[in-house]
Amino acid sequence: MVYLSIFFTSMIVDLSGAMMPGPLLTINISESVRRGAIAGPLLMAGHAILELLLVAALMLGLSPLFKNDFFFVFVALAGGTTMFWMAFGMFRSLPTLTVHSSVAVDRKNNLVVAGALMSLANPYWIIWWATIGIGYITHCQKMGFTGVGVFYSGHILGDVLWYVAISIAISKGRRLFTDRTYQVIIGCCGAFLVAFAGYLVYSGISKLR
């Protein structure tokens, strides 16, 4: 019963965060339009690998690093720059994007890496892990690696359920998209990334001051 409680509470808490708009969700939407339902699982693979490494780091006692103001500033500025670069790529490709040609053109991009980068680029993801996440891990460590493993499994399942469901839903509706609709969706995703990147850079500079 204790393990079931850890599993389901971690999944529910994760879902509450995963459903909030953010850079990873934006990339999931845009890449699902481009490539179909495979985008969600690939992005989640990168996200899951990164979070597994982060759990290991927190268990080794590195949580103070993630709470450090200078670390927040570094991640905010680096993450903002990464998002600006990705948004620039989206805007640059808009004039030539079509529903039928986009899948073949964009397969060169590695979605597993993108899933990890978009998670790491968001300092508020790191803050969540340095606060709520470390609290869960501290509690679960009392039950050994099994407890931490159950927590991680429930947590990552919440992400997978949400992001894969979005990918499947968008993929099923792709046949209804015109080229213009497709371009508008990608343009909106790029605009959101620019806005989020600007907010991150501003937050980093404010914290530095």
Q: What is the pLDDT of residues 24-40, one digit of tens each?
A: 888 898 888 888 889 99
Q: What is the pLDDT of residue 135?
A: 81
Confidence (pTM): 0.78
Ramachandran area for residue 61 (φ above 0: left; ψ -120 to 50: alpha; else beta): left
* Residues contacting residue 185 through CB under 8 Å, at least 6 positions apart: 29, 30, 33, 177
pLDDT at 105 over 50: no
Q: What is the pLDDT of residue 48?
A: 95
Q: State the alpha helices, DSSP H only, in the chain.
A: 2-18, 23-35, 39-59, 63-67, 69-93, 102-105, 111-120, 123-128, 134-140, 144-173, 179-208
pLDDT at 81 over 80: yes
pLDDT at 104 over 50: no
Task: Write down the domain spans for the chain.
Answer: 2-208
Q: What is the pLDDT of residues 108-125, one digit of tens each?
A: 468 899 899 888 878 778
Handedness of CA 169, 49, 55, 142 (dihedral sign): positive
3-state secondary structure of 177: coil
